[in-house]
Amino acid sequence: MPPDFISIVVPLYNEQESVRPLAEQIAAVMEAHHLPYELLLINDGSADQSWAAIAALAAENPHIVGIDLAGNYGQTLSLRAGFERAKGSIIIAMDGDLQHDPAYLPQFVAYIQEGYDMVGGAKAKRPEGATRSLLANTAHKLISSISGVQLEYFGATYKAYRRYLLQNVELLGDSHRFLGALVARKGIRYREFPIEIHERQFGASNYGISKAFSVLVDLVMLRFFLRYSRKPFRLFGVMGIVSLLAGLLGTGSLLVGTVFFGVNIAANFPMEFIFSLFLIMGGIFLISFGLLAEIGTYAYYARRNRAPFAIRQVTSAAVEAVRAGGFSPSAR
């Protein structure tokens, strides 16, 4: 592969009307700027004819690779499936609903070639109401505060990365929303530039105000992941030790009072004694849980070759040529 080969990863869910114009726009931009590329179109268990459209495009254009996931896994795992199969030293992720303009692709590549490790598109203008704008801005501020990464816009998928940044990032759940924070926290060079997000031309958006609660829950997970994902005992162990010491101190004080000062625990301090015992048991539980979590973490990172998704099939012009008998892989 050329040193600046570009992989464009696009997850798709029920986007049969969008996939062909998007692929054609990307091809026109990349060819006009003479940029070597591949376009990975990931079908995330669409219920419409998205996969048929992807397969047709892959048969027509040798730059296109279609990946059909065996079920609906969500945008995060769709991106991960594309990242793991991308061949480029530069990887660009974008949405498949035509809201992200392919005309910005050369600018992303130019900034990466200048020496940046990650380049993000910060919205110059976004077609959304006042309520959604307020929620989005609040979420960005919270993510920035939690992660310590000063990005202006976290939520957009439209970002470019150097390949090495994505090789050790664990994408699970809905963590694609925080992908910029997950990679930028490593002290890499990153920048943003303003992009315009277009109105959706086909279908309906999957995002709404109901997503706000999910984002809040994910923020808690982000905080844990950034601080304690590799060292969970630092969280649960410390909490457990504090609880255990507080319980021992309370219980010990009451027992000393009973033995030496005639304090009647049953009559005067029954709830205090029970609460102290509860703190001791809670502390032992948290310490034990922290140890088990630490062991689980080591086991998890020692066995990272299992993907949390299944792929039904992969298609490209080369694959279709082999199936049609045009040439054999051994003859290449």
DSSP tag of 99: -
Q: Give 271: exposed, middle or buried? Use CB within 10 Å, 0-12, 13-18, 19+.
A: exposed
Q: CB-based contacts of 44: which residues, under 8 Å, 6+ apart? A: 11, 12, 13, 69, 72, 73, 74, 75, 77, 78
The residue whose two tokens read 């033995």 is: 259
Q: Give 297: exposed, middle or buried? Use CB within 10 Å, 0-12, 13-18, 19+.
A: middle
For domain 6-227, give the fold.
Spore Coat Polysaccharide Biosynthesis Protein SpsA; Chain A (3.90.550)
58-96 residue pLDDT tens: 999 999 999 999 888 888 888 888 998 999 999 999 998
Using pLDDT thresholds of 50, 70 and 90, give the confidence band for residue 328: very low
Using pLDDT thresholds of 50, 70 and 90, give the confidence band for residue 331: very low
Which tokens hold the place of 175?
């963590």
Using pLDDT thresholds of 50, 70 and 90, give the confidence band for residue 330: very low
Strand, helix or coil for residue 142: helix
Q: What is the pLDDT at residue 196?
A: 83
Of the candidates 137, 142, 155, 225, the one whose C-alpha atom is nearest the C-alpha of residue 192 is: 155
Q: What is the mean pLDDT of residues 281-295?
A: 84
The single-letter code of the amino acid at 45 is G
Alpha helices in 122-232 (DSSP H): 130-147, 163-166, 179-184, 211-228
